[in-house]
């Protein structure tokens, strides 16, 4: 039997340094694009009262929760998403901030799903929300942010597509067909599945609504008129030079009940994977989460780290951009090589001084041969090695890549000299 203590739990990832670097690359891109758009970072707890999620979902809890009773007898849950927490937080503190709020969170979420390609039981989600602005200009701003994020991650025009839709289009359609509210909700559920489900099943589901599959497909492919909001979003993105990244696709409605207007999803151009990101307008959720205490319109989107990493790895120029960025972050700027053991105190003093100046410095902790120290310098990916011998502060600087050697004189400002070689 395998020893379970030697493995992480199924669906939970260990980030070795090389994986953690990828994670941090993604987080840095999330933060950089959010910053450019004037968004501020917040963070909510990983554990919340289960009631919060019950409230958000309108009474029906998902089956994929990590839910348990804590030592105080509370019914608690590892967060499956962060919007419920955001609603709770805003109820407590939104008065303290001028509107609209531009807020984002990079949070780990937990869902008990069957682990498979692109699906883990924990994942990080970059959640971006714009709260307190009802106009479609906010929807466009958020979609623009998502496009800029894709570009910043190295994706080019044609690598991805934003599929844009509006739930109100379907509300109007349902009204024109004389459907009730419940029937309209059901129609949305059917449209949500129209790409994945068999024709017979769709036809059978539509029949009780008095609709045929052909007329619903017609409504998707040849809409009689787009909503004003969709037109605003399109012309707004046009002004930013982002119109080509977007296509109207009314089959996108997003499964979740709380969306109220424009919705969108990001797909790889081949649509070969599940959505990379998705979001939309949710104007009544905050009110329902807060029992009416906070009635603010909102629009948000989320992107998960697992799917976007997969897509980067499948997209050569995005992968190359990431790898170039990771390679530039050497673990170590300078490796100190001790040629004369009696000079150890000087090595330590120098290491301390250079580190305080901001350089990343390493050295062999135990006395070891010259060649072995150089090997350690290479393993630490240091571009430079400084050999400290009996003539120190005279020293010799080796450029690891070219094996070139530079003599350092006793009166040189070492930090300045090193910085030139490091181009810092």
The values of phi and psi at residue 361, to 5°, are -120, 135
Task: Pick the stretch among 68-76, 203-211, 307-315, 390-398 that binds its own copies (CB under 8 A).
Answer: 68-76
Q: Which 69-88 positions form the footprint of its own copies (CB under 8 A)?
A: 69-72, 74, 76, 78, 85, 88
Nearer to its own copies, 4 or 178 (CB): 4
Q: How many residues does the chain have?
A: 424
Task: Using alpha carbons, select from 258, 109, 129, 89 the residue that is nearest to residue 188.
Answer: 258
Three-state SS string across 332-369, please? CCEEEEECCHHHHHHHHHHHHHHHHCCCCEEECCCCCC
CA distance 66 to 76: 9
Q: Is 227 in the site for its own copies (CB under 8 A)?
A: no
Q: Take residue 340 and report the two structure tokens written for it.
A: 């004369």
With CB under 8 A as the contact rule, the residue among 28, 68, 156, 195 that binds its own copies is 68
Q: Which is nearer to its own copies, 93 or 406 (CB)?
A: 93
Which pair of structure tokens corresponds to residue 56? 């958000």
Q: Which two structure tokens, joined as six digits, stand for 230?
A: 């969709």
Q: Sheet of 361-363: strands edge to edge?
A: 361-363, 334-338, 384-388, 395-399, 404-408
Contacting its own copies within 1-30 (CB under 8 A): 3-10, 12-17, 20-21, 23-24
Binder to its own copies among 37, 183, 217, 326 (CB under 8 A)? 37
Q: How far is the CB of 61 from its own copies (least distance, A)?
A: 13
With CB under 8 A as the contact rule, the residue among 59, 73, 98, 208 that binds its own copies is: 98
137 with 281: CB under 8 angstroms?
no
Of 108, 224, 231, 324, the residue at the interface with its own copies (CB under 8 A) is 108
- Out of 128, 143, 144, 385, the only residue in the binding site for its own copies (CB under 8 A) is 144
* Total residues in contact with its own copies, by rule CB under 8 A: 102
To the nearest whole angstrom, how small is the minimum distance from the Cβ of residue 185 to its own copies? 24
Q: Does 126 bind its own copies (CB under 8 A)?
A: no
312-371: contacts with its own copies (CB under 8 A): 331-332, 344-346, 348-349, 351-352, 355-356, 358-362, 365-366
What is the 3-class SS of 273-301, one letter each residue? CCCCEEEEECCCHHHHHCCCCCCCCEEEE
Of residues 124 and 173, the one with the C-beta less far from its own copies: 124
Q: In what order do the strands lie in the sheet with 66-69?
A: 47-49, 75-78, 66-69
Looking at beta carbons only, is 171 or 290 nearer to its own copies?
290
- Of 3, 1, 25, nearest in space to 320 by CA: 25
Q: Nearer Cβ to its own copies, position 205 or 290?
A: 290
Contacts (CB under 8 A) with its own copies, residues 162-201 = none
- Is 396 a binding residue for its own copies by CB under 8 A? The answer is no
Q: From 129-137, 166-174, 177-185, 194-202, give the range in contact with its own copies by CB under 8 A.
A: 129-137
SS3 assignment, position 317? helix
Residue 415 binds its own copies (CB under 8 A): no
Residue 103, helix vs strand vs coil: strand
């Amino acid at each position: 039997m395998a020893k379970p203590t030697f493995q992480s739990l199924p669906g939970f990832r260990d980030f070795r340094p090389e994986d953690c670097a990828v994670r941090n690359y993604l987080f840095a891109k999330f933060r950089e694009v959010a910053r450019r758009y004037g968004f501020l970072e917040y963070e909510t707890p990983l554990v919340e009262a289960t009631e919060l999620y019950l409230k958000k979902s309108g009474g029906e809890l998902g089956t994929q929760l990590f839910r348990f009773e804590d030592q105080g007898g509370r019914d608690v849950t590892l967060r499956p998403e962060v919007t419920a927490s955001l609603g709770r937080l805003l109820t407590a503190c939104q008065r303290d901030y001028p509107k609209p709020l531009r807020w984002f969170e990079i949070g780990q979420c937990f869902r008990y799903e069957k682990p498979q390609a692109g699906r883990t039981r924990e994942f990080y989600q970059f959640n971006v929300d714009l709260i307190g602005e009802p106009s479609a200009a906010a929807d466009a701003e958020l979609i623009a942010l998502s496009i800029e994020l894709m570009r910043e991650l190295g994706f080019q025009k044609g690598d991805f597509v934003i599929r844009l839709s509006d739930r109100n289009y379907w509300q109007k359609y349902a009204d024109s067909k004389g459907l009730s509210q419940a029937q309209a909700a059901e129609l949305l559920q059917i449209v949500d599945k129209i790409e994945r489900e068999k024709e017979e099943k769709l036809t059978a589901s539509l029949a009780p609504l008095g609709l045929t599959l052909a007329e619903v497909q017609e409504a998707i492919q040849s809409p009689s008129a787009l909503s004003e909001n969709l037109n605003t979003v399109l012309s707004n993105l046009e002004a930013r030079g982002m119109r080509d990244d977007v296509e109207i696709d009314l089959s996108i409605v997003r499964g979740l009940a709380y969306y109220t207007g424009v919705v969108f999803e990001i797909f790889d151009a081949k649509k070969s994977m599940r959505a990379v990101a998705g979001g939309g307008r949710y104007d009544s959720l905050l009110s329902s989460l807060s029992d009416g205490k906070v009635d603010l319109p909102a629009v948000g989107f989320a992107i998960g780290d697992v799917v976007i990493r997969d897509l980067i790895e499948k997209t050569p120029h995005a992968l190359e951009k990431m790898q170039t960025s990771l390679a530039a972050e050497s673990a170590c700027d300078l490796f100190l090589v001790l040629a004369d053991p009696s000079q150890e105190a000087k090595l330590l003093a120098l290491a301390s001084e250079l580190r305080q100046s901001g350089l990343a410095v390493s050295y062999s902790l135990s006395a070891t041969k010259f060649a072995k120290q150089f090997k350690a310098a290479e393993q630490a990916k240091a571009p430079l090695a400084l050999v400290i011998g009996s003539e120190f502060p005279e020293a010799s600087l080796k450029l690891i890549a070219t094996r070139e050697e530079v003599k350092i004189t006793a009166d040189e400002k070492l930090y300045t000299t090193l910085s030139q070689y490091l181009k810092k």
